[in-house]
Amino acid sequence: MANKLIIVESPAKANTIKKFIGGNTKVMASMGHIRDLPKSKLGVNVEKDFEPEYINIRGKGDLIKTLKKEAKNAKTIYLATDPDREGEAIAWHLAYILELSPKDLNRVTFNEITKNAVKNAISNPRTIDMNLVDAQQARRVLDRIIGYKMSPVLWKKVRRGLSAGRVQSVAVKLIVDRESEIEKFVPEEYWNLYAELKDKKTNKTFLAKYYGTDNKKQELHKEDEVKNILNNINKAKYIVEEIKKGQKKRTPAPPFTTSTMQQEASRKLGFTLKKTMSVAQSLYEGVKVLDRGSIGLITYMRTDSTRISEEARQKAKEEIIKQYGEKYYENRYYKTKSDSQDAHEAIRPTYIDLKPEDIKDELSKDQFKLYKLIYNRFLASQMSVAVFNTISAKINANGYIFKANGQSIEFKGFMTLYVEDEDQKTNEEYSNIPELEEKEEVLKSNLESKQSFTEPPPRYTEASLVKALEERGIGRPSTYSPTITTILERRYIEKEKKQLIPTELGKAVNKLLIENFSDIVNEEFTIKIENEFDEIAEGKEYWKKMIEEFYDPFIKEVEKVEKTLEHVELQEEVSDIPCEKCGRMMVVKYGRFGKFLACPGYPECKNTKPFVVTIDEPCPKCGGKVQIRKTKKKRNYYICENNPATCDYISWNKPNAGEKVNPVDAEEIKEEIAKKKVSKKKK
């Protein structure tokens, strides 16, 4: 019989905690949530004060029996689920299942899974925080009501299986709106003029960019304007009119929050949000390292705070001074945003002495990459500023001004360890300027004009979408990854070379929701709701009152939309491919596995065909059309339309003339296709 029972969410976390706890203590995992709303119905009793109708999650019966048995035999029970609203709710559901009193001091939380943190938490248990539980219940119930009441409208008008949601629909709207901007964008011509100049004393050349005349900036939009300037400076002398020297300092970025970690992991490591969170979870819950056994390598990975503990600050100081010297250390505090929950520290390593390279062999490739990113970012955040010497030169050529900027690094500071993308790009803006003197003449080596066109705003990537959602206050750190995963799985958007592109289905769903639920599918509403969840978490608002105030106007809007759309049929996307059976032009439909073509004459004509996208480049082997298809893992591959009948061309890469088939690639793709066919049969 165990004197103590500690319940956490995952086996990995349980294994890590076991090694810190001596005596007769048992550590078990709930495997996530133990109770939830039923999937088969709304699961919220609207008539009885919006009471949630929780049920035990299917498949967890045996686990619940085991937990009850162990709890009955234990003298003390600790609920050690994650230190956030979701974790608090899981603890509350466990307390209900195990028939524990709400007044019991059985809730323990820790921001990092280290011996001290776990032991301190167990020494200072508290009651379950019902404010945090209610904030989670409010989110769960409100999102369930929105999803279960709005989604049937999509089923009737678009197709079954679709879903609408408070955050996901706004995310889709952002992507669709951006695509609309790109489609409407009209490029504008502009020109740049560069002078390649040479310093007579040193023979060093440098580049200066045309600025304007008489200290007035001039933008060049036409080639004639450029030609006019070239004519006027054809025989001009280039005189250095002004030299400015200075210094510029760059401060390191703060330690990671969830969203900044997701963004950097996407940019630097090419990780999806889902992958980043999965790898971070494994680093937090515990990894077997050297002779220490299973230990948590990072602090809790769902946070929007940049705060760090004084103990971690001191450890960072010691490590920086030891590795780099006193001048590389700077005690720095970062201001957390006003709307941040600040419940946890920033994401940082738990053991500063465990350098990434020292434990590389103990980690998977992905764990090592992410751990190194987190470790270096944290340590760099407590390092000295980087110092640059700057020089700018203003050069006059017959009244036409050219400017050259240069910089050199004086002191690397934090950039010795961690360089952000923005820092890496900085040097591209500067020319390597020699030591010039005012009134000095420099020699013209060459003049070059360059025509360019303005570009449309870029499509969102996972990283830039997270940044946009965070800047607008839409969702919270824990919601970004599941939100983007959901809209990808629903095929509202597709990912192509990291870019997020709305599908026709996504556009259709977005149009229907915007036209009919504009009060729900908008940024202001989503931000307002998130703020109300925060108010509930702080005990300033009662959650059921919030749901009640939302429900009545919402349900009236749903009923009104259903009546309005009763006799409205959404137009289907018509292809340019005729049905070979009846001659009608086939339409694009969306099934479980994506797009397909169907005859609009259904049910008289039930003809369907695969939806195939072809590229302009012909097959390098037989000249036939090349199709783009997707594997089960949604990876694009290229295949000749004549494969396998008369041509065996198949490749991961877009074809080039004379390209040979890589047999390894071909086998990889064929294996993926085979898996896809098997999985379809099983379903």
Tell me which residues are annotated as active site. Answer: 300
The encoded tokens of residue 630 equal 């997707």
Cα angle 242, 246, 252; round to 5: 145
**Exposure string (b/e) for 70-81, b if CB count within 10 Å is 16 or more?**
bbeebeebbbbb
Could you tell me if 70 and 26 are in contact, meaning their C-beta atoms sit under 8 angstroms apart? Answer: yes
Burial (CB count within 10 angstroms: exposed 0-12, middle 13-18, buried 19+), residue 208: buried
Give the dihedral of Cα atoms 128, 129, 134, 137; nearest 10 deg.
-50
Treating both helix axes as pointing N-terminal to C-terminal, what angle do 462-472 and 166-184 enclose, rounded to 10 degrees? 110
Alpha-carbon distance 437 to 207, whole Å?
A: 16
Q: Which residue has tokens 């040979």?
A: 660
Could you tell me if 229 and 193 are in contact, meaning their C-beta atoms sit under 8 angstroms apart? Answer: yes
Alpha-carbon distance 532 to 339, whole Å?
A: 12
Residue 499 CB neighbour total at 10 angstroms? 15
Could you tell me if 143 and 529 are in contact, meaning their C-beta atoms sit under 8 angstroms apart? Answer: no
Could you tell me if 255 and 347 are in contact, meaning their C-beta atoms sit under 8 angstroms apart? Answer: yes
Contacts of 367 (CB under 8 A, 6+ apart): 279, 282, 283, 287
Q: By C-alpha distance, which of 97, 35, 41 is closest to 68?
A: 97
The encoded tokens of residue 404 equal 């050259």
The encoded tokens of residue 605 equal 């004509």
Helix (H, G, I), strand (E, B) or coil at 497: coil
- Per DSSP, the residues of 541-590 read S-HHHHHHHHHHHHHHHHHHHHHHTTT--PPPPEEEEE-TTT-PEEEEEE
Output the CA–CA distances (angstroms, integers) from residue 295 to 202, 550, 569, in the order listed. 59, 45, 58
Could you tell me if 70 and 25 are in contact, meaning their C-beta atoms sit under 8 angstroms apart? Answer: no
Q: By C-alpha distance, which of 121, 118, 480 is closest to 286?
A: 118
